[in-house]
Amino acid sequence: MEAFFESMRTYVLSENFFRGALITLALTILSQTIGIVLGLVVALARTSRWSVIHTVAGLYIWFLRGTPVLLQLIFVYAALPQFGVRFSAFQSAVVALSLNEGAYMAEIIRGGIDSVGSGQRLASRALGMKEWQVMRYVVLPQALRVIIPPTGNQFIGMLKTSALASVISVQDLLLTAQRTASANFDYVPALASAAVYYLALTTIFTLLQSRLEQRLSIEHRRRARPLQPLVADASGAVTP
């Protein structure tokens, strides 16, 4: 048992595992960020009055959510070069994971947009606001309270899904653990060391998500606090 923990300590503190964790983190952040941007664009397209845009966005969501992530990953890495489109292994992983995540984020963002009452939009338009102003200043700030919790869950899910990139030889945390285990015939300590990194990263992001949700909840309660009635004193001055 002592040898097991000594091997784990060596692997966890090794440069190879640390570099693999950084690649996993970079892949996660890039893919999730691009996925959020794509999701916002597709969600707005889904709410478009133009049927062509609405249909294309719907097909995008249907296809990306209906096929396995691994299939999409291999297609971008191995099939697109036959059409003259070539990416490195890391770039292929970012493209495939971002496209897939964009489909899921589109539905999350659309749900957040739909949670804002239509009466507020009508009132904003009645005040002379343009459609993009209604979305920017009225709808999206309120939708964030609904969007952020599932987005945090998607981010944590992306951290684990990024391990699929090892299939196309991205030198991430999982591939590092696999190669180390194969080289040393030391599978349990090597894979357990990778699990330590994954657990540490998911724990950190879970805590950050909780803090962000608490902050938004406090700000929402402050905004929702009822206004104090104004009272005029004997001199005619108005005080709360």
**pLDDT tens digits, one per residue of 120-163:** 777 877 777 887 788 777 887 788 888 888 898 999 999 999 99
Express as a percent the part of the chain with pLDDT over 90: 57
Domains of the chain: 25-173 (1.10.3720.10)
Residue 97 has pLDDT above 80, yes or no: yes
Residues 46-65: tens digit of each pLDDT: 888 888 999 999 999 999 99
Given a cut of 60, whether residue 224 has pLDDT beyond it is no
pLDDT bracket for residue 240 (50, 70, 90)? very low
Residue 37's pLDDT band (cuts 50, 70, 90): very high
Is pLDDT at 239 greater than 50 in this prediction?
Answer: no
Position 222 confidence tier, pLDDT thresholds 50, 70, 90: low
Tens of pLDDT, residues 165-218: 999 999 999 999 999 999 888 889 999 999 999 999 999 999 988 888 787 776
Query: Residue 105 corresponds to which tokens in the numbers above?
Result: 């984020």
| Per-residue buried b or exposed e for 180-214, using 16+ beta carbons within 10 Å of the residue's own CB | bbeeeebeebbebbbeebbeebeeebeeebeeeee
Compute CA distances 81 → 27, 73, 166, whole Å. 21, 13, 19
pLDDT, mean of residues 212-238: 57
Q: Using a cut of 0.85, tell me whether the model's pTM lies above it.
A: no
